[in-house]
Structure 1
Amino acid sequence: MKLKYLFIGSIIGFGGLTACEDQLNYQEYSTLDKGYISESYLNVGGLVTNIYAQLDSDWGNYGGATLASACDEAEYAWSNSTVHDFYNGAWSASNTISSTWTKNYAAIQQCNMFLENFLGLTFPDLRLNDDYESQMFRYNNYENEVRFLRAYFYFNLAREYGDVPLVTKVPSTDEVNTFERTPVQEVFKFIQDECDAIVDKIPADYTNLGDLALPEGQPETARANRLAVLALKARTALYAASPLFNPDQDADLWKIAAEANKAVIDSCKKYDCKLGAYDKLWGAENHREKEMIFMRRSDKDNNSFEKYNFPIGVEGGSGGNCPTQTLVDAYEMKSTGKLWNEEGSGYSEADPYADRDPRFALTIAKNGDTKWPAYNAGALQIYYGGSNAEPLSGATPTGYYLKKYCDGSIDLRAGSSSTKFHTWITFRLGEFYLNYAEAVAHYTGSVEIPLPGDKSPLTARQAVDIIRARVDMPALRDEVRDMDIFWKRYKNERMVELAFEGHRFWDVRRWKEGEVLKEITLMKITRNTNGTFNYRREVRQRSWDNKMYLFPIPQSELVKNQNLDQNPGW
């Protein structure tokens, strides 16, 4: 287990937390000792800032590829990406692909170091400063933030590995490589208990602190707040109840998950967090949307995600994470609310993209689209031989390019290149309507029965319909009252709503439905001499083994710590 005795030898962030209104200030790093850090509020704040900097995002962590390309959402256009190792047989304990174990335990160690060594400080030299009370409020709140962050890092570990060592102190040198794995349900309970312990202590809104506001009036946004704490508990509870971690399907775990996710929905109403326009969920200003609960902002303007994902044939574009036909087929017909292959859907083989769920056009770039990206003067030619298609190297293998999370206003042309801020969505309200629908349906066994005793009752069916109504999709049809039909439609809705936000890869695992990853469907397009197009589905096989429900613990960790045992099958 790679838990170095970090203490003060850690590389920590040094810098104020109030320098920017919209983001944390990840900018200067130094090796400092305990005495030096304790002397200054800013130095202690810098340590906390550095812990925030360890939060995860997925802007192409696998050589440009995202986890979407490791499941059935996408296929990465370039064969040299490590993302292909997830399904080509190369994945192993010696080739773990992921760095989650090392990164999250390093972050947890910094959390433990803070909680053991930097609480209870008073900074007496600052007592005469006008902002002493407000600064001390922020300092005292760091404990809540760090406990939240530690719990979040443990969620990442449990989701990926199942049982993991639960370490809540800075270990001695002798202890570092002796820890045993803690049962995953105990880890999940620790996370939820931590959330319960801090939820009423942490601010609900950093922009509304009254007399404790900074003199400059600059709110500390992008920090963990009350809604973020509730959201972490709710997502953790959903995973704890899911078949991968709850093989006996203990109904009480589903009840806890339903209650926790409903608490997020109800609290969002209280704090004016609400659904807005779907197309505002990405782009340089997405962090300002009221739907956002917690985010990971980039530390500077950039255009790397666009470079990875703008179409081949457009200056600066590299193809990247290309949505699959499998994902496209999940977008229902808008007029009928039916899937493309259901009787009476209205689907046309000659015009396969007409009358689709509006989220399709906002997420995926298709053949014939114009102004994608904005500086592209011509229509996309994704038919064989077209300017954005095979056989060009790096052209989409699926028949589509990615829009979601790409900022179409960014220019990659050599003479006019531009950059913008990017914000990764960690928690947003839309997820929790879906989480609640899943949990309450499993608990009650019905799509029409709300959580018993709830003062503002909401059924599973109603929760899903709220998400659909946001994009003017029709309500779920009457036959969806059947639980088996509802489960199919729910999974489809979740795939569409949360596409490319880092959920699908984990959802099929916690549901224990990994078999769906054995194949993906692609679309091959050819152009006829009269200007019409032929659309042909092509199935591509991928490898799947049930051991892949959990990740392998790195072999290097097993060698160092004989008390660790490997996950089954690895």
Structure 2
Amino acid sequence: MRLKHLFIGSMIGWGCLASCQDQLDYHEYSNDDKNFITENYKNVGGLVTNIYAQLDADWGNYGGAMLASACDEAEYAWTSSSIHDFYNGAWSASNTISSAWSKNYTAIQQCNMYLEEFLGLTFPELRLNSDYEAQMFRYNNYENEVRFLRAYFYFNLARQYGDVPLLTKVPSTDEVNTLKRTPVQEVFRFIEDECDAIVDKIPADYTKLGAYAIPDEKPETGRANRLAVLALKARTALYAASPLFNPEQNSDLWLKAAEANKAVIDSCAKYGYKLGSYDQLWGADNYQSKEMIFMCRSQKESNSLEGYNFPIGVEGGKGGNCPTQTLVDAYEMQSTGKLWNEEGSNYSEEPGSDPYADRDPRFALTIARNGDEKWPSYNKTPLQIYYGGVNGEPLSGATPTGYYLKKYCDASINLTASSSNKKYHSWITFRLGEFYLNYAEAIFRYTGEVEQALPGDQTPLTARDAVDVVRFRVNMPKLRDEVRDSEMFWKRYKNERMVELAFEGHRFWDVRRWKEGELLQKVTFMKITRNSNGTYNYRREEKQRTWDDKMYLFPLPQSELMKNKNLVQNPGW
């Protein structure tokens, strides 16, 4: 049997995988014959590595643009990027922009093939080795990892398309072309059931490869563990309860989401995961953060993210994904805990004042603003983002919003011709901070109260408490006492989520699952001019974007509808 159909357009060379062995220590195989693969334990491990390599990250998937630039977090500086098609009227079933349908089903095909063809092996050639039991523990755990990965890829599909075909075996060609869409709640239940089935089987810690220590081997920190399984179930439960997928607002789904996300928080406490320094969430060593539950490690060192996003006017920088004033306005004043436009906030845009003083510390770690020094480190001149400045309009590629991106970018990367360097990057898939916010949303939606915890919980946590935990990490004051009624709390919760999870791939999907697409109809930019005395004028400018309720879900690719008449297009497309 040949396995060519296992790797539909996605065979991955081992030259690029070898660079991240400290994160995922599997081994090479170079032949796609089943007999060859099954005769050697290391070759089977190579199949699993290839599946891990399909995990998603967004280092600029749209010609340098991130999905953040398709919502109100950012505006991409270059008009030629396909990211603008999300809101300029060009999005359609023939121009789906995203390739998520084919990518995720390719990965699912790999998972199904592995689960059908490569379980129950015994590797007799290893029996006399002293580490045989440890290696067999690793091999037997592959099943749990692959089931987790398959469930994760299905979550990506359900989040994006709603109802999708649910396959747990390798289909024939005829079957592929006759599949029907499975209701999205059934897909969500499948994901949750898979997580329940494997959570007690998969290790919580790979430091010693379960109970078996293998001398001289590095810990495999990039593999899915028990916390990752709990996290996938919890995020899935949150989406399943959200208005887009739960139009009847079944409160039982919110209860399930609250319980699942609280389980992540409690398990993180049990296994030593905790919130650390916010700026340790990205950079070459972010995989070492005790907040990190699961991530997608880059396959090789690179500097393309920095090249896309370092400021115009800095050697090697292209401007890229520019944070909006809409996002900037979400950062409260640190001393008052108030938004910029609330009475008594201490905010001012008057000439001579600093509109960025006293801001939530996450602002300076996420966004580069006019006057910032040493961004990036090799830039010796403070950023001049005002009109006519070294880094400002009307230069081609200059930020249209008044800001540049810091988050995820590594300031120590040098893009100069004489000193260019590269580093590893890791995309955050699951981290603890998200699940405090997920829990806050779920328990608030279930109880309708800000100060009520889960009934019978041994470590009670209210919605307000959960949000404050995230705020305290960066020395922000607790939510003000007046944030008690439902409307005010919901506004503040959304604001906190936008700030905490900025550019991590959440905002685009959050607005959709909340069915609050009107938030994306306009974004605000900041236009800065410099006065002769060195002070600055700040002027807000609004930009309208196209929104249609059909955009809550993506269109199925027209090519798939032509091949399979049983597939039905999403409404409006």
Shorter-normalised TM-score: what interval?
over 0.9
Q: Distance in 2 between matches of 1:258 and 1:64?
A: 36
**In structure 2, how many angstroms separate the alpha carbons of the residues matched to 1:140 and 1:76?**
45
Q: Secondary structure at the match of 2:375?
A: coil
* SS of residue in 2 equivalent to 1:167: coil
- Give 1:483-562 correspondences, 5 Å limit: 483-562=486-565
Equivalence for 2:411: 408
Q: Is 1:176 the counterpart of 2:180 in the alignment? A: no
1:6 aligns with 2:5: yes
Equivalent residue letter for 2:478? A
Contact 1:5/1:176 (CA < 8 Å) preserved in 2?
no
Residue type of the partner of 2:5? Answer: L
- Give the structure 2 partner of residue 218 of structure 1: 218
Cα pair 2:254 2:445 within 8 Å, conserved = yes
**Are residues 18 and 528 of structure 1, via their aligned partners in 2, closer, same or farther at CA, if it must alter by over 3 Å?**
closer
Question: How far 1:12 sits from its partner (Å)?
Answer: 5.0
Q: Cα–Cα, structure 1 residues 549 and 210, in superposed 2: closer, same or farther, change >3 Å?
A: closer
Letter of the 2:120 counterpart:
G
**Equivalent residue number for residue 425 of structure 2:** 422
The count of aligned residue pairs is 567
**Mapped contact 2:28–2:43 kept (Cα < 8 A):** no
Residues in 2 aligned to 1:88 and 1:18: alpha-carbon distance in whole angstroms: 41
The aligned residue for residue 254 of structure 1 is 254
Q: SS of the counterpart of 1:537?
A: strand
Contact 2:31 2:37 in 1 (8 A): no
Distance 2:13 2:408 in 1: 30
Unaligned runs of 5+ in 1: none
Contact 1:11 1:31 in 2 (8 A): no
Deviation at 1:219, TM superposition (A): 1.2
Q: Compared with structure 1, are the counterparts of its residues 26 and 550 closer, same or farther at alpha carbon in structure 2 (3 Å cutoff)?
A: farther
User: Alpha-carbon deviation of 1:10?
Assistant: 7.9
1:449 to 449, 452, 456: 452
Q: Secondary structure at the match of 2:294?
A: strand
Aligned twin of 1:470: 473
Tell me the residue number matched to 2:380.
377
| 209-218 or 451-460, which deviates more | 209-218
Corresponding residue for 2:151?
Answer: 151
Q: Which residue of 2 aligns with 1:136?
A: 136
- TM (norm. structure 2) is 0.97
Asked if the contact 2:138–2:209 (Cα under 8 Å) also holds between the matched residues in 1, the reply is no
CA distance in 1, matches of 2:178, 2:298: 36
Cα contact 2:27–2:45 (8 A) shared by 1: no
| 1:128 to partner: Cα distance | 0.7
The residue type paired with residue 266 of structure 1 is D
Report if aligned partners of 1:368, 1:381 keep a CA contact under 8 Å in 2. Answer: yes
1:317 corresponds to 2:317: yes
Q: Write the letter of the residue equivalent to 1:194.
A: E
Relative to structure 2, which stretch is displaced further, 268-277 or 204-213? 204-213
Q: Partner of 1:288 in structure 2?
A: 288
Query: Are 1:552 and 1:566, in contact at CA under 8 Å, matched by a contact in 2?
Result: yes
Whether 1:386 and 2:385 are equivalent positions in the alignment is no
CA distance in 2, matches of 1:206, 1:26: 13
Deviation at 1:215, TM superposition (A): 2.6
Q: Which runs of 4+ in 1 moved over 3 A?
A: 7-21, 25-31, 208-211
In structure 2, relative to structure 1, the CA distance for the partners of 1:559 and 1:20 (3 Å cut) is closer
- Between the two proteins, what is the percent identity of the paired residues? 78
In structure 1, what is the equivalent of residue 124 of structure 2? 124
The answer to whether the aligner puts 1:53 opposite 2:53 as a matched pair is yes
Structure 1 pair 554–333 and aligned structure 2 pair: CA distance change class (3 A): same
**Does the CA-based 8 Å contact 1:144-1:201 persist in structure 2?**
yes
How many angstroms does 1:132 deviate by?
1.0
One-letter amino acid of the structure 2 residue matched with residue 544 of structure 1: W
Q: Residues 145-189 of structure 1: CA distance to partner in whole angstroms, max 9, x if unpaired?
A: 000000000000000000000000001222111110000000000
Mapped pair 1:268 → 2:268: yes
Whole-angstrom distance in 1 between the partners of 2:21 and 2:166: 35
Query: What letter is aligned with 1:148?
Result: F
Query: For the residues of structure 1 that align with 2:339 and 2:13, how far apart are their CA atoms?
Result: 53
Match of 2:355 in 1: 352
Q: How far did residue 34 of structure 1 move?
A: 1.0
C-alpha distance in 2 between matches for 1:77 and 1:23: 34
Q: Per the alignment, do residues 32 and 267 of structure 1 end up closer, same or farther by CA in structure 2, a change over 3 Å counting?
A: same
Contact 2:29–2:37 (8 Å) recurs in 1: no
- Residue by residue over 1:444-489, the C-alpha shift from the partner in whole angstroms, topping out at 9 and shown as x without a partner, is 1101000111110000000000000000000001111111100000
How many angstroms does 1:30 deviate by? 3.9
Q: Cα offset for 1:214?
A: 2.3
Map residues 180-259 of structure 1 onto 2, 5 A cutoff.
180-209=180-209, 211-259=211-259
**Distance in 2 (alpha carbons) for counterparts of 1:471 and 1:15:** 40
How much has 1:130 moved relative to structure 2?
Answer: 1.5
Instruction: Specify whether residues 122 and 371 from structure 1 end up closer, same or farther in structure 2 by C-alpha distance, changes over 3 A only.
Output: same
Instruction: Say whether the 8 Å CA contact 2:19–2:299 is kept in structure 1.
Output: no
Residues 178, 562 of structure 1: 8 Å contact kept: yes
Letter in 2 for 1:470: R
User: Structure 1 residue 25: deviation in Å?
Assistant: 5.7
Which amino acid is 1:55 matched to? L
- Amino acid aligned to 1:6: H
Structure 2 equivalent of residue 35 of structure 1: 35
Is the 8 Å Cα contact of residues 101 and 157 (structure 1) preserved in structure 2? Answer: yes
For residues 508 and 210 of structure 1, do their structure 2 counterparts lie closer, same or farther at Cα, with a shift above 3 Å needed? closer
Structure 1 match to 2:22: 22
CA distance in 1, matches of 2:368, 2:18: 39
SS at match of 2:174: coil
2:93 and 2:557 in contact (8 A); partners too: yes
Q: CA deviation at 1:126?
A: 1.1
CA–CA distance in structure 1, aligned partners of residues 429 and 89 of structure 2: 30
Query: How far did residue 27 of structure 1 move?
Result: 8.9
Change in Cα spacing, 1:342 to 1:26, as seen in structure 2 (3 Å) is farther
Q: 1:209 to 1:47 in 2, by over 3 A?
A: closer
SS at match of 2:282: coil
Flag the 1:264–1:547 CA change in 2: closer, same or farther, 3 A: same
Q: Deviations over 1:183-217 (max 9, x none)?
A: 00000000000000000000001013465122323
2:562 & 2:530 partners in 1: Cα distance?
Answer: 57
AA at the equivalent of 1:56: D
Structure 2: runs of 5+ lacking an equivalent: none
Q: Secondary structure at the match of 2:427?
A: strand
Q: Find the counterpart in structure 2 of residue 165 from structure 1.
A: 165
Pairwise CA RMSD: 1.7
Question: 2:445 and 2:379 mapped to 1: Cα distance?
Answer: 47
In 2, Cα distance between the equivalents of 1:36 and 1:214?
26
Could you say what secondary structure the match of 1:152 adopts?
A: helix
SS of the aligned residue for 1:212 comes to coil
Distance 1:464 1:375 in 2: 37
Q: Does 1:101 find its partner at 2:101? A: yes
Tell me if structure 2 keeps the 8 A contact 1:89–1:543.
Answer: yes
Closer, same or farther in 2 for the Cα pair 1:304/1:278, shift >3 Å?
A: same
CA distance in structure 1 between the partners assigned to 2:97 and 2:384 by the alignment: 34
What is the CA–CA distance in structure 1 between the aligned matches of 2:226 and 2:26, rounded to whole Å? Answer: 23
SS at match of 1:481: coil
Q: Is the 8 A contact 1:8 1:32 kept in 2?
A: no
Cα distance, 1:18 vs structure 2: 9.8
Q: Which whole-Å CA distance do the structure 2 matches of 1:62 and 1:106 have between them?
A: 20
SS at match of 2:176: coil
How far the C-alpha of 1:524 sits from its partner, in A, is 0.2
